[in-house]
Structure formats: C-alpha cells, structure tokens
C-alpha cells in the first residue's frame, strides 16, 4: 500500500468525491468500499430482493461516479448516498414487471434447510411483507433509520423532507409495522 493510498483512505468522503471528479479511480474505489454494504442493506430492504439490491447498488455507484463533477457537499455524503439509493429503488419499482419462472422451486431443497435457518427466513419474509405495506416514504424512512443507521437529519436530507416529517413517518411506520407483524408472527 502506498503512502498516497493511505492518505486517500483517511480522506473524508467529500474530499474523495473531489478526487473522483478529477478522475481518481482509486478514490472512487475507497468510496465504494466504505459505503457498499450500507447501500446494499438499504436497497435490499426497499427492493425486497437480493439480486435487485445488487443491481441497484451498481446503478447507485455508477450514478455517483457520473455526478462526481456536479457533487456539492451540502449535506453528508451518507445523506447523498441514501437519496440516490432510495431514488434508484423507486425508479426500479415504477419500471417493475412480473418475473415468470420457468419452473417451480425444488421442494426437496427447501426441506433440507435446518430449522433455525428456516425460522430466520420466515421472520425475514414477515418483516419484508410488513415493510411492503408501508408507503414508499415511510418504508424509506424506516429502512434508512433501522437498516442504514441514519439519524433524523440525514434521513430528512436523503428524502427531501423536514426532520419533523421524518419523526411522523417513523412513528406511523412503526405503528403499522407493529400491527402487521403482530398478525404475521
């Protein structure tokens, strides 16, 4: 690892974006490494599909790379990232069409899964199902807060609303989730 690389790794996200705008691919790689997992968790909870979340994350970082020259650090990079992820997920949801499988999944493969894994999968499906009952804004606020570990101010900037609106979105979302999960579990 070169000293220059070490210095880049210690740079703020905003400094890295300036370097990306100047064509520094190593700086872009550092940004991706720092934020890929967080972006994936948010995308997964919003899209409800692992493969779709992976595609969203690729799209997100391509958009961020393309916009690097126009990036202005008015808020934290995490807020900016959250906004790009939620917008990409919303775009994909609008364009979504049904996926038809050529055959049904193999029942034997499902039955060979250990019970604790199946229970975790059942809980995950219940949470995903409950999340899908929320409005797009409520779902985005809940996912950013509880899966992205965003603060109220960051969520507000990511969604383009006030912190008070975030508070209301989260309160309504939690109430609805509680009701849905009580009936599912």
pLDDT value for 115: 62
* pLDDT tens column, 10-41: 889 999 999 999 999 999 999 999 999 999 99
The domain spans of the chain are 9-97+106-184
Helix (H/G/I), strand (E/B), else coil: 52: helix
pLDDT value for 1: 40
pLDDT value for 96: 64
Handedness of CA 166, 91, 46, 157 (dihedral sign): negative
CA distance 158 to 138: 13
pTM to 2 decimal places: 0.67
pLDDT value for 127: 81
Residue range 9-97+106-184, CATH number: 1.10.1740.10
CA distance 97 to 127: 23
pLDDT value for 3: 43
pLDDT at residue 98 above 60?
Answer: no
* pLDDT tens column, 61-81: 999 999 999 998 887 899 999
CA distance 160 to 141: 11
Q: What is the DSSP letter of 44?
A: H
* pLDDT tens column, 137-183: 998 999 899 888 889 998 998 888 999 999 999 999 999 988 888 87
Classify residue 53 as exposed, middle or buried by CB count within 10 Å of its CB (0-12, 13-18, 19+): buried
């Amino acid at each position: 690892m070169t000293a220059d690389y070490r210095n880049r790794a210690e740079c703020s996200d905003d400094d890295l974006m300036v370097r990306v705008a100047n064509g520094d691919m190593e700086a872009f790689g550092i940004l991706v490494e720092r934020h890929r997992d967080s972006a994936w968790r948010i995308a997964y909870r919003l899209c409800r599909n692992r493969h779709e979340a992976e595609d969203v994350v690729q799209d997100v970082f391509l958009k961020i790379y393309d916009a690097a020259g126009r990036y202005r650090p008015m808020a934290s990079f995490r807020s900016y990232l959250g906004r790009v992820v939620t917008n990409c997920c919303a775009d994909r949801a609008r364009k979504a069409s049904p996926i038809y499988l050529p055959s049904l999944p193999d029942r034997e493969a499902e039955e060979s899964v250990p019970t604790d894994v199946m229970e975790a999968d059942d809980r995950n499906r219940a949470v995903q199902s409950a999340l899908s009952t929320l409005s797009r804004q409520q779902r985005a606020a809940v996912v950013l807060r509880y899966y992205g570990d965003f603060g109220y101010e960051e969520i507000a900037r990511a969604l383009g609303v006030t912190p008070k609106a975030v508070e209301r979105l989260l309160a309504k979302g939690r109430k609805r989730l509680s009701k849905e999960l009580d009936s599912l579990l």
